[in-house]
Structure 1
Amino acid sequence: MSRRYDHARVQEYWQQAWEREGVFECPTDADDPTYVLGMFPYTSGSLHMGHIRNYAITDAYARYRRMAGDDVLHPMGWDAFGLPAENAAYERNTDPESWTRTCIDQMKADLREMGFGYDWSRETTTCDPEYYQWNQWLFTQFYDEGLVDYGAATVNWCPDCETVLADAQVDTPPEADDGETTAGTGHSHTHGGVCWRCGTGVEQRDLDQWFFAITDYAEELYHGLDDLEGWPDGVRDSQRNWIGRQEGARVSFPVAHDDHDTVEAFTTRLDTVYGATYLALSPGHDLARALAESDEAVAEYVESVANTDDAGMSGVETDLTATHPYTGEELPVYVAAYVLDDVGTGAVMGVPAHNEQDHAFADEHDLPVEQAVEPVDGSGTDLPHAPYTGDGMLTDSGEYDGLASSAARERLCQHDAAEAAVTYRLRDWLISRQRYWGTPIPIVHCDDCGHVPVPEDDLPVELPDYVQTTGNPLDAAEEWKQTTCPDCGADAVRETDTMDTFVDSSWYFLRYLSPHFKSAPFDQHTADEWLPVDVYVGGEEHAVLHLLYIRFFTRALSDIGLLDREEPVDRLINQGTVLHGGEKMSKSKGNDIAPHEYGAETTRLFVLSAAHPSQDFEWTVKDVSTAYDFQQTLYRLVTEYTDRTETRTESADHDAYLEREIDRTIAAVTEEYDRFRFHRVIGEIQRFARLLGRYAGYDRPYQFAYGRGLRVLAGLVAPIAPFLAEEMWQLLDEDGLVAESRWPEPLRDVDDYRIERQVVRRTLDDVREITAVVDIDEPNEIELVVAADWKYRAYEIARESDPDDAIVGEIMADDEIKQHGDAAADFADRLADRGAGLEPIIDGERELDTLQQAAWLFEDEFGCDVVVRRAAPDHDLAAKARPNKPAIHIS
């Protein structure tokens, strides 16, 4: 029999076997299956290493939970709409659907080749009319509930993609992200942003657009993050920052303008209001636009900063003044680029003494700096040269002088001009896209009736045939565009924008639950029973795109009465990046590695062993070779066992160690699978495989223990290297498929198994150190002496004692320990010095058994006799032996 494993020779066989047995199909009558989901892929043409890492994680966990006895839902589908497919089709002189279907076929073949086990009966493709009709249906439901808005807005426009972008789809170039721009705080209605897809600089345009009212859920989405304990802190922090909840006050500043009586400014530092020396408006503020109509200087400034990359602290003074509501003073009114349209109210009360940006603006425009707060400790400030931004005690603030900042904010808010307020940086979700390859927005525009949703019976509104054109292809599809009004029957036109593809992915996890359901997007009863998704795996880059949108959709669906859940995902795993040459793998960088290049299981083993799932790691040929050699080692262990004729049926002393280590390994690997630490899973399996090889070379294997060890080995590696595990399982003449076998279980109690291992490993290290230091090449005998019982008793008393208590006294109060006189007192002193640093231990009897079982390891390594015994009271070694650290004598 060949002892070389060749996955390519067997993978098709096992794929067909899994499919024939329906291994990965989740039963429809499952009460509450374990729902394991990877973010479905965009249909880009072929799998890349980022896909492989994501899906290796979900597949390993899904296979593990299935073997552990769970019904497991592990589906796959395709994020098939989107501008890249349209651009690719344009470049190849084809249509987006043909290109997309070709990509899907290729990617599905890649997934099967990698051995990923999906329930393909639930496959979902977002460009199918059977899917996107429910996008349209949900749109109309949201419309009826008041969650859809339409109107003119200043939007982000990518001139290369020729479409609008939502705020979250505008990236900030690293060199432009100074933490002060709008993009740096999570919003893009300023300058310096680039398209998330193509990197082109984003422009601002005024267009009529469709929005989902995600801001209606700002408060819920913000506070709901506190309950997502299974989500990474980084994702939750990103969403908190993006939502941008701020508590403060709105302050009304009277102005003398025909269309505006007051300007409201939002501030989180009402205690500094007496330091306000000017009022600043954003260029997009209603009053700024009104002033631009009659003030040429304002008009020129607003136009000049509309698409400027860096307007800095520029601004223009207007002819208008505002009345300070607390002092009655007249303040100059400026239009300033540093004031953002979509933060607060778009107006700022300028307090140069206590805000860095206000101070910089005042310095640029020679505005006064007036202190209103001073440090409580009298330490002084650098005013007027630098602002004092901390809390303190009010000064030069009229009747509020002497109040602490926190108390002053409450008192000042009782003024008629101020009211407590909460603001959010979050803006409504702009879903309009001026492209072809997406879900048509189901609206008809009628001159008499206005915007009319397409009736449910007329859904889906399908895409017309694709015709290459510049601009929006649907706008050029005249025959498709012309229709009649559903309400009055008059001539009307269809909406020609399509939906943001993030709409598709905001509820796809629900469609998997009932993919063939025809009367609704999903079966509500099933959804209520099976949600939330137990484990969701994907990149952290989706924190404020996809991951925020699925939370919004779930809450909106709950309010509409279509779901009984408010959060979609229980546990979120962010996988790190695969690097090559220090950079993220990318076709554009020319450093990508095709997943099939090294074989399915070599690749799977490597990407899961290289690092914790959340960490980045470097792709190296050396480490890939190690993964390849590891699978060959596992295969060879089995083939050598099945080929050999000499085994024992009677147990010997050293077999007990292997039997115990089998149980310990099962416990350790199970714990690491549960914690998603697959790199440690593989480390445990590697260590166990080395032990099995060493055991087989030490003596004829005990058939029961060694055979069980190999079966356990096949079971433990099955979720990570499934083709290999099936081959091992078959060679061991086991029934059925390992993928359908029960997860290995310990035969004996494995409590404190880690301590047992630590005792053996530490003792081996101590013996190695002694032989090296004393330069003993060939020892005659190794004697391991386990401590006397009273020392274990003293150790436990010390561990259970309060570190602040008199530990020595507590130990010496024990009659049994006290009998050992000075030796006991010295030992108690040592324990007291360690205090809270005492680790858990196993008792003396168990330590003795563990070392006796492991004696063969010492014999095998050092080639000599090994004696393990308890300490005799009068023996010199008795004083040196401590709990879980035997005394050692080498002769």
Structure 2
Amino acid sequence: MSERDYDHTAIEERWQTVWADADAYRTPDGAEDPTYVLGMYPYPSGKLHMGHVRNYTITDAYARYRRMTGDEVLHPMGWDAFGLPAENAAKERDTNPRDWTMDCIETMRGQMKSMGFGYDWDREITTCTPEYYKWNQWLFERFHEEGLVERRDAEVNWCPNCETVLADEQVEGEDELCWRCGTPVVQRELEQWFLSITEYADELLEAIDDLEGWPNSVRQMQRNWIGRQYGTELEFPVEGYGSVEAFTTRVDTIHGATFFALAPDHRISEALATENDEIRQFVEEEADPDGDEPNGVATGLTATNPATGEEIPVYVADFVLSDVGTGALMAVPGHDERDHAFATKHDIEIKPVIAPEPDDWDGETVLEAPDVGEEAYTEDGVLVNSGEYSGLDSETARERLTEGIESAEESTQYHLRDWGISRQRYWGTPIPVVHCPDCGPVMVPEEDLPVELPEFVNTTGNPLDATEEWKETTCPACGGPAERETDTMDTFVDSSWYFLRYVSPDLDEAPFDRERANDWMPVDQYVGGIEHAVMHLLYSRFFTKVLADHEGLEHREPFRNLLAQGMVQLEGEKMSKSKGNTVSPQRIVEEYGADTARLFMMQAAQPERDFDWSEEGVRSTNAFLGRLKETVEAFAENEPNGENDAVAGYVDSEIDATVAVATDEYEALRFNEALRETQGLVRTLRQYAGYTTPHGETYGRGLSAVVRLLAPVTPHLAEELWESLDAEGFVVEADWPSAEIDRTRVEKRRRLIENTREDVRDIVEVAGIENPESIAVVIAPDWKYDALEIAIESDAENLIGELMGESHIREQGDAAASYGQDLQAEREALSRTLSSEAEHEALEAAAWLLEREFDADVEVIRADEADEEVLRKAEPGRPAIHIED
């Protein structure tokens, strides 16, 4: 151990014990409006990975910051404990999912505690316990009472490997793979339970605009998934099959419809496939909706265009999807790129019916049809080749055509589908339904909840279907023999309301305490991965709205602010076991300490950004903490008694500036910027101590500020140093440092000082001055500050003429003209600086930095005291430099 290393293990274990004994992170039940900070709870896979550590360090740092600013903070943790991986792991290990899950939870809980996360562990929830999933069942029955549950046959996504149904959102990529195991997903017809999320589609969509604390990318992903489209539904008679409904958003192009297209699984397509081998082969083997180009097969049938009466050919085409619109569409190759590609491939007529509207169009002149032979024209415009509708603009034509076509009516379509929650697995919440041959599906009475899982049966297929004794029951309605529902709920049900359970985790009478939830919700800051931007967040929003409508919840959105944290990478690639590029958090904690791991992660990048793990960066971070500990303990052992002079004044101003800037950055969750500020103050304090004997009060105030500014990120060492400074209480409960300053002024002052130091370095290097004896820093004359302000405010084309209109500037003659030319040339980049007096004051206070760096006498000179030759070079924000060697 080097002299600057410290015993992080002893320090971290000590303070974790002290905090636990003192209940330091407990949120009182009586808190009326706590700040609710929440990280998406983890699936208990057995070990924390770096993604977990980053997520929970972000939420922990923010929760600690809010606590120090005086808020009562709710910062809980729990476990998303149901799910197929536990079931598969249990099969592989010849155990049961519950034991495996609980062992994983115990391991991960210990790792979280070793990281120093400040959770209120009294509020811990585990979704696989009957105490929790009872309320999943209760909520299912409440949704059923309100008409939001339906059981019906449906074509579903089926994973043959996991042997379970997947929601659309759980099918990933163009290859349509299972999100859990990567197996290609197939379609099966099954009777399923659905939650009617589509009943809330409009509100879910429209309320997105109010989610101002969410990333725009996530909001757009939600909009896209809901996928609301306004258009027209109309009928195309197909020979031998009657009228077929089609949906279009561009009924204005109907006169250009030259073929009709059906989805491969449309009822007509399936019927034709039983009679025609070519169609059967296409439907069963060739159709590829995710292919690079649209493919299809002619049916030999025709459809009648209801606007023109023309007969157009019917195709089965893989670019038509049964779950979008009606599974049938009119194809207009002149005005749709996909239709154009298909028509070109199959030699179908391409007819233009929309012309671009010229800027000077009078509304009456007949327009020429565009050339759409090579490329479709897809914008709105003016109708041509459209009979009586020619000459109308697209919007008007859509209204008139919808009114004029007998079968047409306005329609709204959605990409969103009802949420199928049935899963043919064991490790999930049993659906509380009994199937009676006489009464049909019957809800289990509330007093009989929870319906608990039986002992695990290691079998293929649906394990609950193999548990005969558990499955056999009596009907709650008639008392006759019946069978329990053997499907379990999608685990996204668990996470759709878990944030409400934290407010009253031990409540036996209801899923959550309504009054407390109304006080504490919505979650003020939610943090989690972008991979949950659709499923989890959309379902949580849906549940919250239903509970607001039917259970007295006063909030219709669950999460006020959302942060989607970036990935932790290694050499530019996401860490993963399959790539063998993971870094063990436990090793980092053991070797460097939790505080080092937390600080490195938080300073590496903004929370939303990906960043590369760096062992060298970890070592550097650890060394910084060692130096800080050495600095604070040296002060505590022997408080200095230097003068309260100009140097102390400069340090005082930097303390205030750092506190103000870092506070702003913490507030905005830009932790990396806050930490950079804080580390800069540490450097200033160490430079101060190396330059002179510090003023004790100033130096101590700076160290106290540093310790508190670092406390949210490095809580263990901060607590140790807080004790060294003889401060009262825990640093986790200390007041956040405060400073009232003008941040803009601070930035100008800092920029001035740094630019001046850089200019001195450049002069010394270019001139080859090895040992400068003196450095003169000359402030610009007042008239240049006035000229700069005029240039910034002026919109006159002739800036020099305007400057010369000011007599005190004109009196400067050639100097004024030359400076005016410079201002004219850089006009777009000009910015305000401090006043001449404020520049003098700032540089006087910072002169010691130059003296220390160059071991030279430094003088800051006002313009009226300066040598004329040197003064000529001085400008606002860029004083002139004269060096004697």
Shorter-chain TM-score: which interval? over 0.9
- Seen in structure 2, the aligned counterparts of structure 1 residues 376 and 745 have a Cα distance that, compared at 3 Å, is closer
Q: What is the TM-score of this pair, normalised by structure 2?
A: 0.94
Which blocks of at least 5 consecutive residues in structure 2 are unaligned?
A: 359-366
Give the equivalent residue in structure 2 for 1:803: 795
User: Is the contact made by 2:287 and 2:317 (CA closer than 8 Å) also made in structure 1?
Assistant: no
Q: Which amino acid aligns with 1:198?
A: C
Q: Deviations over 1:124-180 (max 9, x none)?
A: 1101111111111111111111111211111110011010000000001xxxx4xxx
1:833 Cα deviation (Å)?
4.7
Query: Which residue identity is paired with 1:332?
Result: P
Asked if 1:618 is matched to 2:612, the reply is: yes
Q: Percent identity?
A: 54
Matches within 5 A, 1:413-428: 413-415=402-404, 416-428=406-418
| Kept after mapping to 2: 8 A contact 1:872/1:878 | no
Any stretches of 5+ residues in structure 1 without a counterpart? Answer: 178-191
Q: Tell me, yes or no, if the aligned pair for 2:606 and 2:672 is still in contact at 8 Å.
A: yes
Shift of 1:844: 2.5
8 Å CA contact 2:260–2:313 kept in 1: the answer is: yes
Matches within 5 A, 1:135-150: 135-150=136-151
Give the structure 1 partner of residue 633 of structure 2.
Answer: 639
**How do 1:2-13 residues align onto structure 2 when only pairs under 5 Å count?**
3-13=4-14
Partner Cα distance (1:127, 1:570) in 2:
27
Q: CA deviation at 1:830?
A: 4.3
Aligned to 1:608: 602
**Is 1:687 aligned with 2:668?**
no
Q: Secondary structure at the match of 1:605?
A: helix
**TM-score, normalised relative to structure 1:** 0.93
Give CA-to-partner distance per residue, 1:421-453, whole Å, 9 cap, x none. 221111111111100000011111112222211
Partners of 1:323 and 1:329 within 8 A in 2: yes
- TM-aligned CA distance change 1:312 to 1:423, over 3 Å: same
Match status 1:346 vs 2:327: yes
Matching residue within 372, 383, 390 for 1:401: 390
Alignment match of 1:861 (pick from 853, 859, 864):
853
CA shift for structure 1 position 796:
3.5
Give yes or no for contact 1:203–1:307 (8 Å, CA) kept in 2: no
Q: How far apart are the structure 2 equivalents of 1:41 and 1:233? A: 25
Q: Distance in 2 between matches of 1:871 and 1:632?
A: 45
1:813 Cα deviation from its structure 2 partner: 5.8
Does residue 656 (structure 1) correspond to residue 649 (structure 2)? The answer is yes
Asked if residue 212 in structure 1 is aligned to residue 202 in structure 2, the reply is no
Deviation at 1:27, TM superposition (A): 2.0
Change (3 A) 1:882 1:138: same
Question: Hey, what's the Cα distance between the residues in 1 that align with 2:848 and 2:763?
Answer: 19
Supply the AA of the counterpart residue of 1:353: G
Report what 1:757 is aligned to.
750
Tell me the secondary structure at the aligned position of residue 569 of structure 1: coil
CA RMSD, 1 decimal: 2.4
Deviations 1:353-410 (A, max 9, x none): 2222223333443332222223446898564344333333322211122333333223
Deviation at 1:810, TM superposition (A): 6.1
User: Within 1, Cα distance between the matches of 2:599 and 2:84?
Assistant: 34
Secondary structure of the 2:350 match is: coil
Q: 2:212 aligns with which of 225, 229, 250?
A: 229
Residue 116 of structure 1: how far off its partner (Å): 0.8
Q: Which secondary structure state, in structure 1, belongs to the residue aligned with residue 646 of structure 2?
A: coil
Letter of the structure 1 residue corresponding to residue 850 of structure 2: F
| Residue type of the alignment partner of 2:601 | V
Change (3 A) 1:92 1:388: same
d(CA) in 1 for partners of 2:514 and 2:797? 59
Query: Which deviates further from its counterpart, 70-79 or 871-880?
Result: 871-880
1:22 and 2:3 matched: no
Higher deviation after alignment, 469-478 or 838-847: 838-847
Shift of 1:303: 3.9
1:723 is aligned to 2:716? yes
Alignment match, 1:788: 781
1:242-263, Cα deviation, whole Å (9 max, x unpaired): 1122222222212354xx6421
The 1:807/1:422 distance shift into structure 2, 3 A limit, reads farther
Q: Which of 246, 252, 255 is the equivalent residue of 2:238?
A: 255
> Partner letter of residue 125 of structure 2?
T
| 2:461 alignment partner, one of 448, 452, 471 | 471
Residue of structure 2 in register with 1:267 after alignment: 248
Question: Does 361-370 or 768-777 show the bigger shift?
Answer: 361-370
Given the superposition, is the C-alpha separation of residues 814 and 526 from structure 1 closer, same or farther in structure 2, using an over 3 Å criterion? farther
- Are positions 1:844 and 2:836 aligned together? yes
Q: Of residues 508, 515, 527 in structure 2, which corresponds to 1:518? A: 508
Alignment of 1:309-708 (within 5 A): 313-318=294-299, 320-376=301-357, 383-415=372-404, 416-599=406-589, 600-644=594-638, 647-708=640-701
Shift, 1:311, TM fit: 10
Q: Give the Cα–Cα distance (whole angstroms) in 2 for the partners of residues 404 and 607 of structure 1.
A: 56
- CA shift at 1:285, angstroms? 2.3
Match of 2:158 in 1: 157
Q: Distance in 2 between matches of 1:102 and 1:307?
A: 44
| SS, match of residue 654 in structure 1 | helix
The 1:737–1:255 alpha-carbon spacing in structure 2 relative to 1, beyond 3 Å, is: same
Counterpart secondary structure, 1:108: helix
Quote how far apart the aligned CAs of 1:104 are.
Answer: 0.4
Distance in 1 separating the partners of 2:288 and 2:432: 33
2:49 aligned partner: 48
Shift of 1:114: 0.7
Cα distance in 1, alignment partners of residues 820 and 318 from structure 2: 71
Separation in structure 1 between the aligned mates of residue 411 and residue 827 of structure 2, nearest angstrom:
52
Shift of 1:507: 0.7
Q: 1:46 to 1:559 in 2, by over 3 A?
A: same
Greater CA drift, 747-756 or 860-869 = 747-756
CA contact (8 A) 2:237 2:244 kept: yes
Q: Equivalents in 2 of 1:308, 1:285: separation in Å?
A: 14
Shift of 1:737: 1.2
The residue that corresponds to 1:109 in the other structure is 110
